[in-house]
Chain A
Amino acid sequence: MVRKLLVRRHSGVTRLTHWINVLALAALLGSGLQIFNAHAALYWGQKSSFERPWLAIGREARGDEVVGVARLGGLTLETTGVLGWSGAPGARESRAFPAWATIPSWRDLAAGRRWHFFAAWVFVANGLVYLLSGFAGGHIRHDLAPTRADLAPRHVWREIVDHARLRFPKGEAARRYNVLQKLSYLAVALALLPLMVATGLTMSPGFNAAAPWLLDLFGGRQSARSIHFICAALIVLFVLVHLFMVVASGTWNNIRSMITGRYAIEVEGDRP
């Protein structure tokens, strides 16, 4: 007989920091795109080589028509309506990222910066609470660090195949994170998000004086700006996959577990 059992899945700290993080990252992304729009080009090195950005978003005339374009190295993509030239047809405006992606929706670098630095402080404070309690309370060691058995190549391969087929662990195995979850959560929490903070600080001329070694670590302020943008894109990618997995493996059960902490698993037999 199969019956449902509600187990404790997420601690209070995990749930609270998760949702504060959602708000902070949403504000950081929207305001970050607003800031990017003020100079929609990225470079490598200490300074801007204006003729040679590796990524640039803008618009150009094609005959009588104006089109939005994104240039990545030698590649030119036409992106009218989304990148470079967006808004309702007939009322299009010149802006790298469209109004629906930026905070605020209108062009306002000062407001974008104000949002960004406020949200950055919330994000950093929240992240410190998560990391300190995660290391001290054992969440990272017990729930996120993969075991040796997790990392066995056969096991990892099995998990990849199961994920690709959207088959998720059932019963007792669903009590714990699987190895792909563990590795991706660790990569985001311990590498990607801290890298965002470090590259963000490397763009600050004030912080450069406090920690000049960051400039050497990332290869200059403009490189740091590029890495900041790439990491933001990777975080967006992570969130998209994360949301897809939430839906694929049981939308309400997952959302409930991140709100109340209780997660339903299916077990065989009358008694656990």
Chain B
Amino acid sequence: MTAPDRRGWLKAMGASLGALWLAACDSITRDKSSYARLASAERLTLRAQRAAMGDRRALAREFSPAEVSPNFKANGSVNPDDPAYVAHQEAGFADWRLVVDGLVERPLALGLDELRAMPSRSQITRHDCVEGWSDIAKWKGARLGPLLDRAGLKREARYIVFHCADNLGRTADASGRYYESLDLVDAYHPQTLLAYEMNDGPLPVAHGAPLRLRVERQLGYKQAKYVMRLEAVADFAHLGRGKGGYWEDRGYEWYAGI
């Protein structure tokens, strides 16, 4: 073969190998059982990160007031149209109650004033969207741990589910209703809040009024907005499509620490 022939041949060979590789990756993604195998990394990541933290209460980085984003991006739902929610919004959330039930000794229904009277925390933290961008804001809210203690978790309770007022996917069976879940390690983390204030003002509707979750060692889709009800459960297989959250049901990892 002459040199140009050989070069052409090698190029064709390289291009074919590349195309073959991408086609293989596509078909693995489409095949349920092989794609499920890729998900095995998630448990490994969760275990490795918890081990690396050493102390399960290791804190997320907190920032100075100068670092707060001037225009924190509002993502996902920004204005829920659920009639009950709209009614509460119009009434300034005066009669709104956070319901705490499921596997608890003492079910609760708490208004905003009662939540404000609970042990609170303020923190300036970074919000990392799964898409890749980050914003920084100051949050103030009721610490989730003391609130759960007030309701008294039963021994079987393993996860806390956050039921929200917003619909992202408009479906007939209400499977587009937003929800999220945390295990007890993150639920009892000192920086895990039910935030009612953002940047020293009341939490705006675009960011989840009247109450949103802050779980600072995970990505944005865990930070459920428009939280209406907390439910303590032993597992979440019966909720939605069984993966523990709206985005989890659509292929994203339940552990969003990476």
Residues of A with Cβ closer than 8 Å to B? Answer: 26-27, 30, 35-36, 38-39, 41, 43, 46-48, 50, 100, 103-105, 108-111, 113-115, 117-118, 120-121, 203-212, 215, 221-222, 225, 243, 247, 251
Give the chain B neighbours of A114 by CB distance below 8 A.
Answer: 35, 38-39, 41, 251, 253
Q: Which residues of B contact A (CB under 8 A)?
A: 7, 10, 14, 18-19, 21-22, 25-26, 29, 35, 38-42, 44-45, 49, 52-54, 58-61, 63, 67, 69, 71, 73, 126, 128-136, 216-219, 247, 250-253, 255, 257-258
Q: When chains A and B are docked, how far (Å) is the Cα of A225 from the Cα of B131?
A: 12
Q: How far is the CB of A210 from chain B (nearest CB, A)?
A: 4
**Total contacts A to B, CB within 8 angstroms?**
135
Give the one of A47, A100, A203 with max B CB within 10 A: A47
Residues on A with C-beta less than 8 A from B25 are: 27, 30, 103-104, 115
Chain B residues whose C-beta falls within 8 Å of the C-beta of A109 in the assembled complex:
130-131
Q: Which chain B residue has the least Cβ–Cβ distance from A222?
A: B134
Extra contacts, 19 of them, besides A48-B134, A113-B252 (Cβ < 8 A), are A30-B22, A35-B132, A39-B131, A41-B133, A46-B126, A47-B69, A48-B69, A103-B26, A105-B22, A108-B251, A115-B25, A117-B253, A118-B38, A205-B258, A206-B53, A206-B255, A208-B217, A222-B134, A243-B14
Chain A residues within 8 Å of B49, by CB: 204, 206-207, 210
- Shortest CB distance A109–B (Å): 7
The contact sample of 18 A-B pairs, CB cut-off 8 A, is A35-B132, A38-B132, A46-B136, A47-B136, A50-B71, A100-B22, A110-B252, A113-B253, A114-B253, A203-B128, A204-B257, A205-B60, A205-B258, A206-B53, A206-B257, A209-B53, A210-B58, A247-B10
Asked if B219 contacts A205 (CB within 8 A), the reply is: yes
Nearest to A208 among chain B residues (CB) is: B61
Residues of chain A within 8 A (CB-CB) of B73 are 48, 50
**Which of the listed residues A46, A105, A206 has the most CB atoms from chain B within 10 Å of its own CB?**
A206
Cβ of B132 and Cβ of A39 under 8 Å apart? yes
Residues on B with C-beta less than 8 A from A118 are 38-41
Q: Tell me the bound Cα distance from A38 to B218 in angstroms.
A: 18
> Chain A nearest CB: distance from B35 CB in Å?
7
Q: Indicate if the CB atoms of A47 and B67 lie closer than 8 Å.
A: yes
Residues of chain B within 8 A (CB-CB) of A41 are 133
CA distance A220 to B19 in the complex (A): 36
Whether A205 contacts B216 by the Cβ 8 Å rule is yes
Chain A residues contacting B71 (CB-CB under 8 Å) are: 50
- Chain B neighbourhood of A105, CB < 8 A: 22, 26
How far is it, in angstroms, between the C-alpha of A51 and the C-alpha of B174 when the chains are bound?
Answer: 37
Q: In the complex, how many angstroms separate the beta carbon of B44 from the nearest chain A beta carbon?
A: 6
Given A121-B44, A210-B58, A115:B38 Cβ within 8 A: yes
